[in-house]
Amino acid sequence: MPGTVPCQLLNYVDGNFVTSVSSFANINPVNGELVSNVFEADAKQVSDAVVAAQKALKGPWGKLSVHDRAAVIHKIADGIQARFEEFVAAEVADTGRPVHQARTLDIPRAIANFRTFADLAKTSNTDLFEMATADGAGALNYTVRKPLGVIGIISPWNLPLLLFTWKVAPALACGNTVVAKPSEESPSSATLLAEVMHDAGVPPGVFNLIHGFGKDSAGEFLTQHPGISALTFTGESKTGSAIMKSVADGVKEVSFELGGKNAAVVFADADFDAAVAGVLRSSFTNSGQVCLCSERVYVHRSIFDKFVAALKIETEKLIVGYPDQEGVSMGPLISHGHRDKVLSYYQLAVEEGATIVTGGGVPQFNDERDQGAYVLPTIWTGLSDQARCVTEEIFGPVCHISPFDDEDEVIGRVNDSDYGLACAIWTTNLSRAHRVSRQIHVGLVWVNTWYLRDLRTPFGGVKLSGLGREGGRFSMDFYSDIANICIKL
């Protein structure tokens, strides 16, 4: 098992770690025990952080060349690598996720976020246009990237460090300063990152960390502060809607990655074993707590019964247990509150007439884990497309499997959703793969895979799943003030 986590988590403002009057408990979802006490930033501390970030824009940070700034960001990545096991411990303590997931996904991807965007900043290109003028001399128009300003960042709890750095890294790479709030459910790794920033020599005020909640707390104080230039948020759709209203009067730049009710489509010609393994992974990874997970699964009627039976067998092989347990597949949900929400859908599915293929309840361990936030991975069949369990995001280890008969039918059913984040298609027909992918109203389609990410590509959703795109040049565009310069020749 990785190392321990600090028992107190402080805010980081203007290069200093600071306490506050109020604090809240950070609870381990494995056993319900206290991980740490977290100091909640008040309105003044949030304002101090924004003012410090504004000041830092005009200081040494704002005078660095792109290459020198990239060198600092690479040093941050080196700092995470040097404290790798401490970050693993922080992620595991807050979320209960398997240790092997933290070691192979969460921490490596955080390091990659910093390295990728540091290198993109050095190689990012802009536009140049030659223009004819009436006098025949012509003119040149070229674009330049400038820092946008102070970026407000609010990140979620499901992939804490991965998604936190997904926003912090490009914001810094573009020369901005940030005031960032991690989820109150998973504050540990962000606090460690503040220590890495400090040790890496990031100037005071460039990176500021505030802990707290949403309404009437740090999140609301940040979104309503007039000193921020843009806000990027990952989380629930209803929270994104509230934030949009909050920043509307100031006409702030916003980027939202919100919820999903993603589909997986398995055609009759799919590689059957690969499709079963893929849907197993896309439904139950991280206990279903990934915005990209498949909660709606559509399988061609000719293989429906076989597929349901096979997925049931593989699901019941999943090991739900301790994060460091040998062969563990799933940990707990993030909190007891979230478990109550997921369990309410487990009950609703029964009321709506679902057939429970497997799962549907809480595992019994007869040890401290019974005080944790565990649920069983669950498969349903038999619900209509209008059932709440098929239309509403649950964000737990659950999927509903439904048969379909033809291509046009399934495309229509997949698109009949208030969400539009991602879809996974399983087929060996290359023409069908291209044809269907273009017709799915989502921001991201995978074919014969799931969660295979190239950080240079756009990421985001449509409808209630988000606004804008991040990743690669799309992040560079969002976090930059792009200006045109016209030179008369």
Q: Do residues 148 and 230 make contact, with C-beta atoms less than 8 angstroms apart?
A: yes
Q: Do residues 80 and 102 make contact, with C-beta atoms less than 8 angstroms apart?
A: no
- In 3-state terms, what secondary structure has residue 445? strand
Q: Taking the CA atoms of 424, 391, 458 and 168 in sequence, report the sign of the dihedral they define.
A: negative
Q: Given 3-state DSSP classes, what are the helix, strand and coil percentages for the chain, each rounded to the nearest 5? A: 40, 25, 35
pLDDT at position 471:
96
The fold of 263-447 is Aldehyde Dehydrogenase; Chain A, domain 2 (3.40.309)
State the maximum Cα–Cα separation within the chain, in Å, rounded to a whole number: 87
pLDDT at position 248:
83
Q: Taking the CA atoms of 173, 176, 177 and 180 in sequence, report the sign of the dihedral they define.
A: negative
pLDDT at position 22:
97
Selected catalytic residue, list 185, 257, 295, 470: 257
pLDDT at position 476:
96
Considering the four listed CATH numbers 3.40.605.10, 3.40.640.10, 3.30.499.10, 3.40.50.1980, the one that applies to the domain covering 8-258+465-488 is 3.40.605.10
Reported for 123-131, long-range contacts at CB under 8 A and 24+ positions apart, including other chains, are: 124/473, 124/476, 126/482, 131/486
pLDDT at position 247:
86
Domain boundaries, the chain: 8-258+465-488, 263-447
Examine the residue annotation and report whether 185 is marked as an active-site residue of this protein.
Answer: no
pTM of the model: 0.97
Q: Which residue do the tokens 């649950």 mark? A: 394
pLDDT at position 5:
83
pLDDT at position 456:
94
Q: Do residues 437 and 276 make contact, with C-beta atoms less than 8 angstroms apart?
A: no
Helix axes 66-82, 188-199, angle to 10 degrees: 130
pLDDT at position 2:
64
Closest CA to 353 of 314, 381, 311: 381
Gap between the Cα atoms of 117 and 171, Å rounded: 9
Closest CA to 329 of 353, 363, 380, 354: 363
Q: Do residues 161 and 133 make contact, with C-beta atoms less than 8 angstroms apart?
A: no
- In 3-state terms, what secondary structure has residue 463? strand
10-residue averages of pLDDT along the chain (489 residues): 81 98 98 97 98 97 97 98 98 98 98 98 94 97 97 98 98 98 98 98 98 96 96 94 87 94 98 98 98 98 98 98 97 98 98 98 98 98 98 98 98 98 98 98 98 96 96 96 97
Strands 355-358 and 378-381, bridge-based pairing: antiparallel
